[in-house]
Amino acid sequence: MRVLLRRLGLFDATMLVMGGIVGSGIFINPYVVARQVHTPWLILGAWAAGGVIALGGAFVYSELAVLRPEVGGQYAYLREAYHPGVAFVYGWALLLVTQTGGMAAVAVTFARYFVELTGVPMRDGVVATLALAALTAINCLGVKPGARVQSVLMVLKIATIAALVLCGWLLFRAPQIHLHPALDRPMSLDLVTAMGAAMTPVLFAYGGWQTSCFVAGEMIKPERNLPRALVAGVLGVIALYLAVNWICVRDLGPRGLADTTTPASAVMRMALGERGAALIALGIAISTLGFLSQSILTAPRVYFAMAQDGLFFRGVAWLHPRTHVPVVAIVLQGVWTTVIALSGRYEQILNYVVSTDFIFFGLTATCIFVFRRREREKAVSGKTNRDIARHRARMPGHPITTALFVAACWLVVIATFYKYPANSVTGWVIVLAGIPVYFLWGRRS
Task: Report all structural domains of the chain as residue ranges with CATH numbers, in order of start.
Answer: 10-444 (1.20.1740.10)
pLDDT at 178 over 90: no
pLDDT at 78 over 60: yes
Closest CA to 72 of 206, 198, 247, 213: 213
pLDDT at 377 over 90: no
Average pLDDT over residues 28-32: 90
What is the predicted pLDDT for the residue at 163?
A: 94
Average model confidence (pLDDT) across the chain: 88
Percentage, residues of the chain above pLDDT 70: 93
- Using alpha carbons only, what angle is made at residue 20 by residues 217 and 84, rounded to the nearest 5 degrees? 45
Average pLDDT over residues 85-98: 92
Q: C-alpha distances in angstroms, 320 versus 2, 135, 242, 257, 297? A: 8, 17, 42, 49, 15
What is the predicted pLDDT for the residue at 1?
A: 57
What is the predicted pLDDT for the residue at 384?
A: 57
pLDDT at 393 over 70: no
More confident residue, 354 or 321: 321
Q: Are 20 and 211 in contact (CB under 8 A)?
A: yes
Choice among 159-168, 190-199, 385-394, 405-414 with the minimum mean pLDDT: 385-394
pLDDT at 191 over 90: no
Beta-carbon contacts of 219 under 8 Å, excluding residues fewer than 6 positions away, are: 6, 8, 9, 12, 13, 69, 225, 226
Residues in the chain: 445
Choice among 75-89, 181-195, 299-313 with the minimum mean pLDDT: 181-195
Choice among 6-15, 100-109, 208-217, 380-389 with the minimum mean pLDDT: 380-389
What is the predicted pLDDT for the residue at 387?
A: 45
Per-residue HEC secondary structure of the chain comes to: CCCCCCCECHHHHHHHHHHHHCCCHHHHCHHHHHHHCCCHHHHHHHHHHHHHHHHHHHHHHHHHHHHCCCCCCHHHHHHHHCCHHHHHHHHHHHHHHHHHHHHHHHHHHHHHHHHHHHCCCCCHHHHHHHHHHHHHHHHHCCHHHHHHHHHHHHHHHHHHHHHHHHHHHHCCCCCCCCCCCCCCCCCCHHHHHHHHHHHHHHHHHHCCHHHHHHHHHHECCHHHHHHHHHHHHHHHHHHHHHHHHHHHHHHHHHHHHHHCCCHHHHHHHHHHCHHHHHHHHHHHHHHHHHHHHHHHHHCHHHHHHHHHCCCCCHHHHCCCCCCCCCHHHHHHHHHHHHHHHHHCCHHHHHHHHHHHHHHHHHHHHCHHHHHHHHHHHHHHHCCCCHHHHHHCCCCCCCCHHHHHHHHHHHHHHHHHHHHCHHHHHHHHHHHHCHHHHHHHHHHHC
Please write down the long-range contacts of 43-46, taking CB distance under 8 Å and 24 or more positions apart.
43/198, 43/245, 43/249, 43/254, 43/257, 44/242, 44/245, 44/246, 44/249, 45/195, 46/195, 46/198, 46/199, 46/202
pLDDT at 91 over 80: yes
What is the predicted pLDDT for the residue at 259?
A: 92
pLDDT at 375 over 90: no
Question: pLDDT confidence of 383, banded at 50, 70, 90?
Answer: low
Average pLDDT over residues 326-343: 92
Question: pLDDT confidence of 435, banded at 50, 70, 90?
Answer: very high
More confident residue, 72 or 365: 365
pLDDT at 391 over 50: no
Question: pLDDT confidence of 13, banded at 50, 70, 90?
Answer: very high
What is the predicted pLDDT for the residue at 349?
A: 62
What is the predicted pLDDT for the residue at 164?
A: 94
Choice among 153-162, 357-366, 412-421 with the minimum mean pLDDT: 412-421
